[in-house]
Structure 1
Amino acid sequence: MGRAEERRARQRGGRRAAPKRRRSSGAGGKSGIRRLFTWKKILGTFFGLCLLGMGAFIVLYMVIDIPEGNADAELQSNVYKYSDGTIMARDGERNREIVDLARIPKDVQRTFVAAENKTFYKDAGVDLKGTARGVLNTLSGKGAQGGSTITQQYVKNYYLSQEQTVSRKLKELVISLKLDREKSKDYILAGYINTSYYGRGAYGIQAAAQAYYRVDAEDLSVEQGAYLAALLQAPNQYDWAIASDTGKKLVQQRWNYVLDNMVEQKWLDGAARRGMTFPEPEAPKPAPGMEGQTGYLVEAANYALKERLVAQGAAEDMEQAKALVDLGGYTITLNIDRKKQAALEKSVKAELTSKLDPEKREVDADVQAGAVSVDPKTGGVLAMYGGVDYVKHFTNNATRDDYQPASTFKPLILAAAVDQDAETQDGVPITANTLYDGTSRRPVMDGDQKVGFAPPNEDDVDYGDITVQEAMNKSVNSVFAQMGIDVGMPQVVKVAGDLGMETEGMEAVPAQTLGSMGASPLEMAGVYATLDNHGKKVTPAVVKSVEHKDRTVEFPEAIGEQVISREAADTVTSVLTGVVDDGTAKRSVRDNPLRDGQQVAGKTGTSDNNKSAWFTGFTPGLVTSVGLFGEDPKTHKQVPMYKAGGVDHRVNGGGFPAEIWAAYTFGVMDEVTEFDLETKQGAAVKPSTSPTVTQSPTRSPTPEETTEESPSDEPTTQEPTSQEPTTEEPTQSPSQSPSGTPSTEPPTGGTSTEPEDPLFPDGDRQER
């Protein structure tokens, strides 16, 4: 070893250099890492990251605002109920009805807190641990795992989406914190239970209560509430009707968990808890649809609601009102009586639709029926028949007003005459006893002038001298055409409007006396209900009440003021009993075995060219208007109904319509009643004076006419004087136009074809 090497060896402690350098190199590396990752640096980095995170969160908190609610979470259905509160239908994209928390029992509210978030009333709206776990699970691909508070779940349901992303979870955290600071716990809880999905297509607690227990949310028991709260964890798996044995076991366990938590929180007495049994829910029931009559009823209710929204200023027009209704959230209770509705549907089927056979008779496919039944004391629409099926025939025949009401308008002329103390042009007061000239095609006179109107009677029958009572019984056109001029057509139109007809645009011309305007069964039911109500206005009301969490909708009273005198209304009612007892409705109504002595008033109507046929009748407590309409199912044009249903000739008001009316009315009667009338006229009360006469505006009564016996409770039948009844069907229609020109077609221009065939001049024809 040289000196130099020896010196270096001594300097290095006698160790060899190479191994020393290798070890020194390793030792030097470790010291460098220690110097780089010291505890101070690690802690500094940690706190720096925390500060950075806190800063980022503060920025997020400042940037993220509480957004507008998710439009999908706001979707609600409208709920329609019968008058007894049972559900008729739900209409809307989402089966949800938002209810105020105050309507939900406190114990039921707490079942949801016990199930999902026991610290709900104390926490700040977030579960940081659960949220962090959820974020990590999302980042690691484990899916929707992790816990969250009721506030966070509500935020997810109402403000955000169901997607599982880190950004969505961070937004959920920020919005939940802000929401908890800005809103009350009750607000958040209400939002949560109203937006959550419970299975069976039910969103929100109200829809769930109906879907599982057939009750409203306000009527839920604690046991039932606990089941609904338990459902939220797994709605389909825990639905008792479809759950597997495992699913049933799991939901029972969770139900017990909910109730035990309530005891732990001192929200439920332990003894009461031990006495509780699992409340098995009802079997699923299909949501009521729009099939059958339901669609017509819903449509009518919606129209009434939209009208009120416009009237109250909540909407500027019907289009805007429709948008409000379509948003949902309305609970609409109708005046419809379930039993009467079913009875009306049954009567139409038994007396009409079961007898129609389009394969045998093409015309049978053209027959449409519509009917409305009204309580004259309240104005409520108790039953409505809109057509064969809403999903097959969308036009509501009960509310359509494009067909002539024909002779059912004649009582309104008499009402105007009596109410205004009108006189014939000879100065004779118009009463039930007044004699008119019932000659077919007799020119209608205004003083010495012809008005250019000379309507034929049905089948051109001449009745000669006939009382107003008998003219109503037999529906003599020539009499009421003249009476309209005697009263004054402007006055007739005014009284018609007062009674409830839509008279805007109605011309005050003689042809209107035969019902040539348009009208609906709903409209005519209201008019006759006003007569039945002794002259106090009745406006038929489809809707009983409307509830909505954000607005109040009030409906006006259906019973209004006195529009004609009681004597006038009662006189018309009295006269109309004759139509039933000795007139065009005799066979179908008077002789019906179900009548059982019930007093009835009513009027038949058969329009021009047999395009419509009517019977509107009433008892002291029920008014029903039935209309039949000829409509081509392809073009929807009005067409005749001759020989439909197998009848020999025309479809008359005393046939199918009166038969439907009788089957329905006598089938729903609770008791036999009598009219309380204040009148000295008509068939119901024996007149106190002899009949007075007017056969033409210029002829005075003869002594024989003034001493004619007064009509009694059973009016005597007066044979036509200018035509003997024949024993065979006329070879052509004897109808003529008002100018007197013969026609081989049924009369046009609004001429009523009542009364009945000349084969049965007393009205007792063999109708079917």
Structure 2
Amino acid sequence: MGRAEERQARQRGARRAARGRPSGGGKPKRTGIRRFFTWKKMLGTLFGFVLLGMLGFVVLYMVVDIPEGNALAKKQSNVYKYSDGTIIARTGDVNREIVDLDKVPEDVQKAFVAAENKSFYKDEGVDFKGTARGVLNTVTGKGKQGGSTITQQYVKNYYLSQEQTVSRKLKELVVSLKVDREKSKDDILAGYINTSYYGRGAYGIQAAAQAYYGIDAKELDVDQGAYLAALLQAPSQYDWAVASPTGRKLVKQRWNYVLDNMVEEGWLDSGKRAELTFAKPEDPKAPPGREGQVGYLVEEAKREVLRNSDLSEAEFEAGGYTVTLNIDPKKQKQLQEAVDKKLNDRLDRKDNKADARVQAGAASVDPRNGKVLAMYGGEDYVKHYTNNATRRDYQAASTFKPLILAAALEHGATTQDGKPITAGTVYDGTSKRPVKGSDVGFAPPNEDDVDYGPVTVQKAMNKSINSVFAQMGVDVGMPEVMEMAGKLGMDVKGLPAVPAQTLGSMGASPLEMAGVYATLDNHGKKVTPALVGAVEHKDRTVDLPDPIGDQVIKRGTADSVTSVLTGVVDDGTGSAVRNPSQDVAGKTGTSDDNKSAWFTGYTPKLVTAVGLFGEGAPDTPEKNKQVSMKGAGGRARVDGGSFPADIWAAYTFEAMGSPTAFDLDTDMGAAIAPPPEPTTKAPKEPTNEPTEPEDDPTTKPPSQSPTTKPPSDDPTTKPPSDDPTTKPPTTEPGPSDTAGEPDEPEGLLGRD
């Protein structure tokens, strides 16, 4: 080999060495991180972890014994307090009666297995996959995880605690395996149905059968058993008496799921299954000590704690919690007295059918911090279980109109001919006027089918003119209107964005509407009413959300709506609450066929919503159905400006403290113009005589045409009344105007 060849061979060897290969052509040497991670090393490491895990589980299985049952011994009371620390109530007496499995019909037993664990009779007591998922979710902070077997749930109920920790889940796994080996399936199933919590304070199937159907467990039919089995997934949410429409839909789905599983497993004949109908439970009976308003406060406080924390109902009912409510006991008493004085004392529920139909609910909120200071749930929790302050099954009616205006101002919306929508914009107030610009036809009548002609938005709000706000909703865009409702705190999920919603056809509660108007009062910063101020427990911390949230609409929008709503009080349907020394904004509402009537109003420091609802009286064919309140209290119609406004005024002017003035960043709307020559007397006391209905210009001519109203009996000596029709005429156009289209105030008006 010559020198050239030797040199080339050396160069080739050097290049191979630089690439990590030996010059002889062997395998390359691994460098960097590849020296530490190979498939063999990774598989070996994984196998080692598996062996360690198995060894650890074996050790755990050997050292963990089945503990003594301690569920009953750990039961404690929960204490509920007013904001000043005085005790409202104590709860926690265990309502449980253990029954043997042979006292439970076999098809009812199978209903529980079908609901929770179809493989119960074949498995070894654990669901390794579900438990692993639960451990992972606990470690990663994703909260509670279902999927446990009946055996595991029984172990958790009877032997362990409800806490969500990795150690508790691992212990549950081991104890469940041992229990499954040492006890029969029947013993485990009996333990499960006797220790589970069913809601209504009922622990165990015997107490549940009594609480929901008024019978013993041995008398349950399979359709009733399927409901109780379905109930265990979410006792409060699925309790038919208090469930929302969504909750009722879900529990029916769960009920069908249970029965279908029974058919699938051969435990129920398909023919019999087809004949079954949903077994609606009886109305609940209030436990002792919940009379009056106490039961409403305690139950709603409990729901709020569960809604705003990661506690399960079983954990909470295990006791040891001190729940301090934001309720001010003085204001609570004032609200109750106002409802009694202005409504209950004027009704004869025993002998008058119309009076017996009236249900009242109210909620009062501090807009500066979101605290619920007072709440009226009904005449008596023992007599009427449903909380009228939180029920959402009645229409919000015209209390929804301010939200339409808020959407218009927030989005800078214009009329069909391009004019900006403000308080001064002129609309056509003709009754049954078809809306323009909508793909969905809509032509709503005004109250009593009155034609108002051209009116400003301010007057349309004052008089609650349906045709104007139906057109405004289309001008703004109904999706934007519904979005505004959601921002302000209404639950409008799943509702269609159609013009009919402008009439307030969606359901709402007084507590919900108090929150909506509190956000307006708080200059557009979100207020979510908070009944509960604090929750304490010696072993855990419960953090509650801040009732005051983000700025959800511009301050100018909120303040402009507030200014417009002062006009409703000064010269509109809310004149019953007019007060010469106090700024007040508010809105009345009366639903179709007078099934609900509202007044939601506010001062700078206090927002209160009062709702009256027509509900079929007990022991009548119309029980629990929505019915008209016409004729109640001797009135032709119960509108928002009557009983609701009277209750609001009696409560607010007593509870608000010293007079205050709105601080509004707007030049729009009524601008809190007080009535001329105000009197110093309190708002007029209502009488039992029929009064003028809300939005009824046929019996009360508009203030713009005072010459059409007959003179009073003694105009020279009688001071001005609280009736806005006695105010001097203004330049605002009214239905009696004959001079044609009014002049436009400096570029603010638009017209259809």
Partner Cα separation in structure 2 for residue 343 and residue 538 of structure 1: 23
Tell me, yes or no, if structure 1 residue 642 matches structure 2 residue 642: no
1:9-36 per-residue CA deviation (whole Å, 9 max, x = no partner) reads xxxxxxxxxxxxxxxxxxxxxxxxxxxx
Tell me, yes or no, if structure 1 residue 622 matches structure 2 residue 611: no
Question: What displacement does 1:757 show?
Answer: 5.0
Q: Which residue of 2 aligns with 1:574?
A: 563
* Secondary structure at 1:665 match in 2: helix
The answer on whether the counterparts of 2:580 and 2:674 sit within 8 Å (CA) in structure 1 is: no
Alpha carbons of structure 1 residues 64 and 531: separation in structure 2 relative to 1, 3 Å: closer
Question: What displacement does 1:361 show?
Answer: 2.1
Question: What displacement does 1:323 show?
Answer: 1.4
Q: Which residue of 1 aligns with 2:484?
A: 495
2:594 to 601, 605, 610: 610
Partner Cα separation in structure 2 for residue 549 and residue 84 of structure 1: 21
The answer on whether the counterparts of 1:604 and 1:614 sit within 8 Å (CA) in structure 2 is: yes
* Secondary structure at 2:298 match in 1: helix
Q: Which residue of 1 aligns with 2:272?
A: none
Question: What displacement does 1:669 show?
Answer: 2.1
Q: Which residue of 2 aligns with 1:516?
A: 505
Alpha carbons of structure 1 residues 625 and 545: separation in structure 2 relative to 1, 3 Å: same
Tell me, yes or no, if structure 1 residue 358 matches structure 2 residue 298: no
Q: Which residue of 1 aligns with 2:698?
A: 758
Q: Which residue of 1 aligns with 2:639?
A: 652
TM-score, normalization by structure 1: 0.55
Question: What displacement does 1:713 show?
Answer: 6.1
Question: What displacement does 1:66 show?
Answer: 11
Alpha carbons of structure 1 residues 520 and 503: separation in structure 2 relative to 1, 3 Å: same
Name the amino acid aligned to 2:476. V
Q: Which residue of 2 aligns with 1:600?
A: 584
Question: What displacement does 1:557 show?
Answer: 0.6
1:615-660 per-residue CA deviation (whole Å, 9 max, x = no partner) reads 000000000000000000232000000010111x110000000000
The answer on whether the counterparts of 1:683 and 1:714 sit within 8 Å (CA) in structure 2 is: no
User: Which is worse superposed, 511-520 or 358-367?
Assistant: 358-367
2:337 to 340, 346, 354: 346
1:323-368 per-residue CA deviation (whole Å, 9 max, x = no partner) reads 1222111100011010000000000000000111134421111100
Tell me, yes or no, if structure 1 residue 442 matches structure 2 residue 433: yes
Alpha carbons of structure 1 residues 416 and 64: separation in structure 2 relative to 1, 3 Å: closer
The answer on whether the counterparts of 2:580 and 2:675 sit within 8 Å (CA) in structure 1 is: no
* Secondary structure at 1:341 match in 2: helix
What are the equivalent positions in structure 2 for 1:59-458 lying under 5 Å apart?
Answer: 68=68, 70-93=70-93, 289-309=289-309, 312=310, 314=311, 321-446=312-437, 451-458=440-447
Q: Which residue of 2 aligns with 1:718?
A: none
Alpha carbons of structure 1 residues 301 and 471: separation in structure 2 relative to 1, 3 Å: same
Alpha carbons of structure 1 residues 67 and 421: separation in structure 2 relative to 1, 3 Å: same
Partner Cα separation in structure 2 for residue 766 and residue 534 of structure 1: 28
The answer on whether the counterparts of 2:431 and 2:450 sit within 8 Å (CA) in structure 1 is: yes
The answer on whether the counterparts of 1:532 and 1:618 sit within 8 Å (CA) in structure 2 is: yes
Alpha carbons of structure 1 residues 641 and 765: separation in structure 2 relative to 1, 3 Å: farther
Cα RMSD, aligned residues only:
2.8
* Secondary structure at 2:507 match in 1: coil
Partner Cα separation in structure 1 for residue 304 and residue 439 of structure 2: 45
Question: What displacement does 1:487 show?
Answer: 0.3
Q: Which residue of 2 aligns with 1:178?
A: none
Alpha carbons of structure 1 residues 547 and 559: separation in structure 2 relative to 1, 3 Å: same
Partner Cα separation in structure 2 for residue 398 and residue 481 of structure 1: 28
The answer on whether the counterparts of 2:401 and 2:502 sit within 8 Å (CA) in structure 1 is: yes
Q: Which residue of 1 aligns with 2:658?
A: 671
Partner Cα separation in structure 2 for residue 758 and residue 407 of structure 1: 19
The answer on whether the counterparts of 1:401 and 1:519 sit within 8 Å (CA) in structure 2 is: yes
Question: What displacement does 1:288 show?
Answer: 8.7
Partner Cα separation in structure 2 for residue 431 and residue 302 of structure 1: 43
The answer on whether the counterparts of 1:477 and 1:754 sit within 8 Å (CA) in structure 2 is: no
Name the amino acid aligned to 1:656. F
Name the amino acid aligned to 1:645. G
Task: Return 5+ residue gaps in structure 2 as ranges.
Answer: 1-62, 96-158, 160-286, 677-689, 704-721, 726-752
Alpha carbons of structure 1 residues 345 and 555: separation in structure 2 relative to 1, 3 Å: same
Question: What displacement does 1:86 show?
Answer: 0.9
1:589-631 per-residue CA deviation (whole Å, 9 max, x = no partner) reads 11xxxx4511000000000000000000000000000000000
The answer on whether the counterparts of 2:440 and 2:498 sit within 8 Å (CA) in structure 1 is: no
Partner Cα separation in structure 2 for residue 372 and residue 359 of structure 1: 26
Aligned residue pairs, count: 440
Name the amino acid aligned to 1:637. K
2:461 to 472, 476, 480: 472
2:448 to 459, 462, 469: 459
Partner Cα separation in structure 2 for residue 491 and residue 375 of structure 1: 28
Tell me, yes or no, if structure 1 residue 681 matches structure 2 residue 668: yes
The answer on whether the counterparts of 2:365 and 2:514 sit within 8 Å (CA) in structure 1 is: yes
Partner Cα separation in structure 1 for residue 383 and residue 697 of structure 2: 35
* Secondary structure at 1:560 match in 2: strand
The answer on whether the counterparts of 2:404 and 2:469 sit within 8 Å (CA) in structure 1 is: yes
Q: Which residue of 2 aligns with 1:541?
A: 530
Partner Cα separation in structure 2 for residue 298 and residue 760 of structure 1: 45
The answer on whether the counterparts of 1:756 and 1:765 sit within 8 Å (CA) in structure 2 is: no
* Secondary structure at 1:516 match in 2: coil
Name the amino acid aligned to 2:328. D
Question: What displacement does 1:755 show?
Answer: 1.7
Partner Cα separation in structure 2 for residue 395 and residue 553 of structure 1: 27
Question: What displacement does 1:435 show?
Answer: 0.5
Partner Cα separation in structure 2 for residue 78 and residue 765 of structure 1: 51
Tell me, yes or no, if structure 1 residue 563 matches structure 2 residue 552: yes
Partner Cα separation in structure 2 for residue 353 and residue 762 of structure 1: 32
Question: What displacement does 1:670 show?
Answer: 1.3
* Secondary structure at 2:394 match in 1: coil
Partner Cα separation in structure 1 for residue 514 and residue 701 of structure 2: 28
1:246-296 per-residue CA deviation (whole Å, 9 max, x = no partner) reads xxxxxxxxxxxxxxxxxxxxxxxxxxxxxxxxxxxxxxxxx9921100100
* Secondary structure at 2:448 match in 1: helix
Name the amino acid aligned to 1:71. A
Partner Cα separation in structure 1 for residue 64 and residue 351 of structure 2: 72
Alpha carbons of structure 1 residues 640 and 765: separation in structure 2 relative to 1, 3 Å: farther
Task: Return 5+ residue gaps in structure 1 as ranges.
Answer: 1-62, 96-158, 160-286, 315-320, 686-711, 716-728, 730-752
- Structure with the greater alpha carbon radius of gyration: 1
Please list every run of at least 4 consecutive aligned residues from structure 1 whose deviation after the TM superposition is greater than 4 angstroms.
Answer: 63-67, 712-715, 763-767
2:617 to 630, 633, 636: 633
The answer on whether the counterparts of 2:641 and 2:694 sit within 8 Å (CA) in structure 1 is: no
Partner Cα separation in structure 2 for residue 642 and residue 344 of structure 1: 24
TM-score, normalization by structure 2: 0.56
Partner Cα separation in structure 2 for residue 445 and residue 66 of structure 1: 73
What are the equivalent positions in structure 2 for 1:576-591 lying under 5 Å apart?
Answer: 576-586=565-575, 588-590=576-578
Question: What displacement does 1:308 show?
Answer: 2.3
